[in-house]
Structure 1
């Protein structure tokens, strides 16, 4: 049988790229926002721009620059002022809106300064001001504004502990909201009584509004007690900075006000719209896979859990297809999305997608003409310059011939250096969007 691996690798990349195109921020925003003379329609809700004294644009996230460009295309010189915080090098050339670069996933001083500037701009809004907030993945780290008595260092240390213990993004953001003036509805509180429209590119499983970028414009469903429960769940209480523990305990005792909750006046003049999500990307990816001749199944856009375990389940399904033609006949394409977590036990370098690919490669050893591509839609996987990695049934064989022990690299959480040596890293550069991860498995 003719070797199908090179063609399948290219097809996997084509399917991934099709998914990306479906969640391009510019097109997504223009699908829900339309301007007809002075009437701005946002997901069917109409605003007469002539009734507002000024229009402010604020926001944060990896897709912020592209989202800002789309809003400038729509509103033009009606925009009075704007500021968006983005991850370093995630840039577009804008006319009116200023871009402020900062650190992600661990917040830095630039993020603190950017959040302070956005908070001042939001607080300057008057009752007849229209504020458009542009939120995308990464916004939690990029909008860093500690509560009174909190410090940037405390937030950095807490973030590192949460990332390392395997906490989900929902759990991490629950903590972040209770350590911030701007998250968990804090931005809506600062803007009120102005009108606030938030356009959101979802990078959270289930598209929960109060988890995306830690919900700066929506009510917070979590409490201080929830935060303490998360610390206990992962047995990390002793690793959390003392000042953070004291703050959470004071909140539980009622000495500190809770984050804004449903029904409060701050949300009376707000509209929140998800413009694109992981499911949109999966639908377009499926369309492309069908076009390329694969029998395609979307497993889920909501997969969570430990990366290696999720990889094992994916490959078990792929092996069933490979051996028995169930639940799909070959040629087959399995698609999934969501965001897994990595429990860090080694001192290597990598990200959840590269770790998924390495764990999958070990499980699928010997499956001829089968491909796995796992990558982040934002073009960044963990603290690396790769979006993810691409593997096949011969990856382990190639590694052994090169003197590499795949299991040893996996145990050390060192997937980046493993794939770098095999030239199997998948690099896209910044994609200017972010709707979590896409996993593509092709079986012939």
Structure 2
């Protein structure tokens, strides 16, 4: 009986170990003869001017540590936002610790650094995005017209509304300059590749961390419809309602479409 339990425990621990961030990174990312391979994608490092690393999530620091061990001095620089007490000392990538699940000012500042790096990238550069669970709260920017407190209030209302994660993230994506594929838009015309650890059933790339590098099928109209569906239009901060309606009137940029 004890032997059977030990075997079961060994199998369980082996399974856990196989999905640890460092194990996964080394499984799918490698460099051989100056060719960077990320699963089926291949990049000749001799043709890449700069490699930038950005990302957010509870596992992003561990992912960044692994990518540093693979790419080393090939990394120009980078920035990661992770939750408090999850930072790891790194050589080429800086880290901001921030609030999760409630976004805070540290998250906003860290996200500004990520956005600056994305804008810095040029046509012959490669931006590697490390995304994991928790990235939605950690990747925080504040659109003109509202405050961090407005976003916190909205987050609290959404969590109590009965809306599911896809519905909540639809609204959040339309109150951001970086989610809903907009991080990829900021990094254009560089090459952008994302390594994503999913914490969402079905692994929808546009939902995980609100899809900063994934095309978004939702619209401002969808976001407003969700608010009306759960009868929270009179609870949310007025600034949020104004921003969403400005988007509906084409006064604000829509999230990134496919193509």
Q: Which band: TM-score by shorter chain?
A: over 0.9
1:144 counterpart residue number: 140
Q: Give yes or no for the alignment of 1:122 onto 2:113.
A: no
Q: Deviations over 1:210-234 (max 9, x none)?
A: 1111111111111111111211222
Q: Deviations over 1:125-158 (max 9, x none)?
A: 1111111110001111111012222321111111
Q: Give yes or no for the alignment of 1:220 onto 2:216.
A: yes
SS at match of 2:31: strand
* Contact persistence 1:150–1:179 (CA under 8 A): no
Q: Give yes or no for the alignment of 1:39 onto 2:29.
A: no
Taking the aligned partners of 1:240 and 1:17, their CA distance within structure 2 comes to 44
Taking the aligned partners of 2:217 and 2:238, their CA distance within structure 1 comes to 25
Taking the aligned partners of 1:245 and 1:26, their CA distance within structure 2 comes to 42
Taking the aligned partners of 1:262 and 1:248, their CA distance within structure 2 comes to 21
Structure 1 residue 255, shift from structure 2 partner: 2.6
In structure 2, do the counterparts of structure 1 residues 221 and 38 end up closer, same or farther at CA, with 3 Å as the change threshold? Answer: same
Structure 1 residue 82, shift from structure 2 partner: 1.1
* Contact persistence 1:102–1:108 (CA under 8 A): yes
Find runs of 4+ consecutive structure 1 residues off by over 4 angstroms: 6-19
Using the size of structure 2 for normalisation, the TM-score is: 0.93
Q: Give yes or no for the alignment of 1:58 onto 2:54.
A: yes
1:205 aligned to 201, 207, 216, which one? 201
Structure 1 residue 238, shift from structure 2 partner: 1.4
Cα RMSD over matched residues?
2.1
Q: Give yes or no for the alignment of 1:162 onto 2:174.
A: no
Q: Deviations over 1:164-192 (max 9, x none)?
A: 22321111111111000010111001100
Give 1:332-371 correspondences, 5 Å limit: none
Structure 1 residue 34, shift from structure 2 partner: 1.4
Structure 1 residue 50, shift from structure 2 partner: 1.1
* Structure ID, larger Rg: 1
2:90 counterpart residue number: 94
Taking the aligned partners of 1:112 and 1:26, their CA distance within structure 2 comes to 27
Taking the aligned partners of 2:257 and 2:11, their CA distance within structure 1 comes to 41
2:179 counterpart residue number: 183
Q: Deviations over 1:224-254 (max 9, x none)?
A: 1111121122222211111101111222233
Taking the aligned partners of 2:167 and 2:93, their CA distance within structure 1 comes to 32
Q: Deviations over 1:343-401 (max 9, x none)?
A: xxxxxxxxxxxxxxxxxxxxxxxxxxxxxxxxxxxxxxxxxxxxxxxxxxxxxxxxxxx
SS at match of 2:242: helix
Structure 2, unpaired ranges of 5+: none
Q: Deviations over 1:48-75 (max 9, x none)?
A: 0111111111100000111001101110
SS at match of 2:103: coil
Taking the aligned partners of 2:71 and 2:251, their CA distance within structure 1 comes to 44
Q: Deviations over 1:68-100 (max 9, x none)?
A: 011011101111101100000112232211111
2:19 counterpart residue number: 23
2:229 counterpart residue number: 233
In structure 2, do the counterparts of structure 1 residues 7 and 58 end up closer, same or farther at CA, with 3 Å as the change threshold? Answer: same
Taking the aligned partners of 1:7 and 1:115, their CA distance within structure 2 comes to 50
Using the size of structure 1 for normalisation, the TM-score is: 0.55
Give 1:171-320 correspondences, 5 Å limit: 171-263=167-259
Structure 1 residue 22, shift from structure 2 partner: 2.7
Structure 1, unpaired ranges of 5+: 264-444
